[in-house]
Homo-oligomer: A and B are copies of this chain.
Amino acid sequence: MRDVAIIGAGSTKFGELWGQSFRSLGIEAGMKAMASAGLSGEEIEAIYIGNMSSRFIKQQHIDALVADYTGMAGKHVASTSIEAGGASGGVAFRQGVMAVASGMHDVVIVGGAEKMTDLDDDSVNEVMNGTSDADWEAGMGISLTSLYAMIARRMMADGIATREEIAACAYNSHYHGQFNKDAQFRKEIKLDTILRAGPTAEPLTMFDGAPISDGASAVILCPLDHAKRYTDKYVKVASTAQASDTLALFQRDSITSFGATKAAAAKAYADAGITAHDIDVAEIHDDYTVAGVMALQDLGLYEKGGKAFLDGDTKFDAGKIAVNTSGGLKAKGYPIGAAGVSQIVELFAQLTNTADNRQVPNAKYGLAQSVGGTGSAVTVSILEAM
């Protein structure tokens, strides 16, 4: 198996981008990633795209759409679209790594994109709730938000995290979001603002959930020993792992921990030959605050995830394991298919020492965790500075 490098990365701004289409967003992110790698489109052999739902834009065959509108269809580049709910971007990244590792392709672009704001909120929520069990959860009227609210209740009842500690996950993301010029929300917020906001599913409020967003991200991969042909700024993919769990939350033994995160993390650490203690910076899937708390614990990054957020241990300059320096899904924005790829974009910046005003000092190992549904699919990827 060949070692794989990331040689370029780029994102559009995330937000309510009324003036941009799915097509234009994908092109912008791809062009930025290629510019960052010093590549022309001519060298790209394969495209992988994370996209959560064709229902948002009523277009199937996103693979062909992207090949076409990036001009790659002219030379018949292989293009593949992956759907794994919120983990779509993370799974697409792993498939891209596999394509290079296998020797089937040399230069691969992995993109993630979603255009969600062209539908009304009810329709968007209907599609998103489709990532839970359509027959036994969504079909019975339960929403993703209410599933995560149940997790929060259980966590609080079991003494795993207090309401304030859970809310602190959103505080941490908004704190970092102020430094990221591409983030949807760029304002620090007070813990009190989160706690007193309108309830969505109690105990969660408006500020416990990531926003509905448009946006796209892309990264370029090649064999590690080709990387220097293109750039001096590259990062090694130390490992990438993926795990599944039951589609419905009620079928699990525990709902305050995601088994798929633990399984993927164990594999990713083993394959990279490191432990959680070696990680310097992590991008985790905070689509809900409570998911962020679980992530820190299931990944072994912090024993008490909520406390780490509340104590500020997760800030980029705290000298501990920095978390969601990009602003996370909560403040950076959550165009679903782009999320997992945007995490890699942030880690690429951190590990090439180009993260500007939010640079984690001497970052050597970065970890990205991408989650679909209520932990039904999880990818964990570990990147290493070169």
Contacts and interface: CB of A to CB of B under 8 A. Distances in A.
Interface string A57-75: 1111111110110001100
Given A54-B53, A61-B377, A98-B104, A82 B84 contact: no
Interface in A56-107: 57-65, 67-68, 72-73, 76-85, 91, 95, 98-99, 101-104
A264 interface: yes
Contact of A95 (B79, B95, B244): B95
A76 B264 contact: yes
B130 A244 contact: no
A11 interface: no
A327 interface: no
Copies of this protein chain in the complex = 2
Given A102-B1, A130-B58, A73 B242 contact: no
Q: Among A61, A91, A243, which residue has the most Cβ atoms of chain B within 10 A?
A: A61
A373 B61 contact: yes
A127 interface: yes
Contacts of A376: 61, 63-64, 67-68, 73
A247 interface: yes
A54 B76 contact: no
A326 to B, nearest CB: 24
B79 A1 contact: no
- Interface residues on chain A, size class: 35 or more
Contacts of A80: 82, 84, 91, 95, 242
B98 A85 contact: no
A24 interface: no
Contact of A73 (B46, B102, B135, B246): B246
A84 B102 contact: no
A98 to B, nearest CB: 5
A116 B277 CA distance: 49
A306 interface: no
Contacts of A63: 83-84, 91, 244, 372, 376-377
Contacts of A72: 244
Contacts of A245: 64, 67-68, 73, 76
Interface in A207-225: none
B84 A244 contact: no
A55 interface: yes
B81 A82 contact: yes
A245 B170 CA distance: 43
A137 to B, nearest CB: 10
Contact of A68 (B82, B95, B246): B246
A114 to B, nearest CB: 12
A260 interface: yes
- The 3 A-B residue pairs with the shortest CB-CB distance in the complex, in nearest-first order: A64-B376, A102-B102, A67-B244
Given A65-B133, A78-B244, 16 more contacts: A1-B103, A1-B104, A53-B54, A53-B60, A55-B55, A61-B85, A61-B247, A63-B377, A64-B244, A67-B376, A68-B244, A68-B251, A68-B376, A76-B263, A77-B243, A79-B244
